[in-house]
Amino acid sequence: MSYEKSRGAFLPYAAKCIRHRLIDYSRKERRHTETVSLYAPTDNDDKNTLIQRLDSGEDEISRHMEITATGEEIFCFRRELASFGLSLTDIAETCPKQERTLKACMRVLAYAKATPIVFEVLLKTKKLPMKEIAAGSGVDRKTLERHRKYLIAVLLAYTNGFEIIRGHLKQIEPREGGRNR
């Protein structure tokens, strides 16, 4: 837009320009009159917005119940561990750091799964049958001694009553088979 002095006064020209701009803007915005913002307050309550009323797609109640059930199972697991004189912090501190050691521990688990008497002895005597496990799984006794607390926790998770924890450990599969007798 350019103003030419020869064609008249500036003020009427500016007024016309402003008016046309406002008309253009109002026409442009008219297409959005049907659109409602999700963050706009609802009719009844100024504090609530539309997005808060929309279904998030998640079932909050069943999620809460799931967490509660898992929490209860973990509480039982911790109580069971306490009967061995162990806490989860102890176990986290003695957990295998190296992949090779973790594999060795998984071989022990595979052996115990194949030999249920290991679980029975563990629950009855509150001790790991080291000699038997070392011979059956082929894992060095020193490694077993070093990770005794961790092994107790993992084996305990595979005894009855800890389905949720076991379900979480679905990735645990022995990569190398144990040397079963």
Partner 1 sequence: MKYLVMECHRGYAVVLDEEGRFLKAANLNYTVGQELTEIITAPPVKKSPR
Please report, as ranges, the residues that interact with partner 1 according to CB under 8 A: 66-75, 77-78, 87-89, 91-93, 95-96, 102, 105-106, 109, 150, 153-154, 165, 168-172
Residue closer to partner 1 by CB (options 49, 174) is: 174
From the CB of 163, what's the least distance to partner 1, in Å?
13
From the CB of 24, what's the least distance to partner 1, in Å?
49
From the CB of 127, what's the least distance to partner 1, in Å?
20
CA-based max dimension of the chain: 110
From the CB of 73, what's the least distance to partner 1, in Å?
8
Residue closer to partner 1 by CB (options 3, 75) is: 75
From the CB of 74, what's the least distance to partner 1, in Å?
5
Residue closer to partner 1 by CB (options 49, 87) is: 87
Residue closer to partner 1 by CB (options 89, 125) is: 89
The one-letter amino acid code at 2 reads: S
Residue closer to partner 1 by CB (options 77, 115) is: 77
- What is the 3-state composition of the chain as percent helix, strand, coil, each rounded to the nearest 5? 65, 0, 35
Q: Residue 66, SS3?
A: helix
Phi first, then psi: give them for residue 27, nearest 5 degrees.
Answer: -65, -40
* Residue 95 CB neighbour total at 10 angstroms: 15
**Which H or E element spans position 178?**
none
Per the listing, tokens 């119940």 go with 65
Strand-pair partners of 38: none
CB hemisphere CA count around 94 (13 angstroms): 18
Q: How far is CA 121 from CA 128, 129, 130, 141, in A?
A: 7, 7, 11, 18
Residue closer to partner 1 by CB (options 12, 167) is: 167
From the CB of 40, what's the least distance to partner 1, in Å?
31
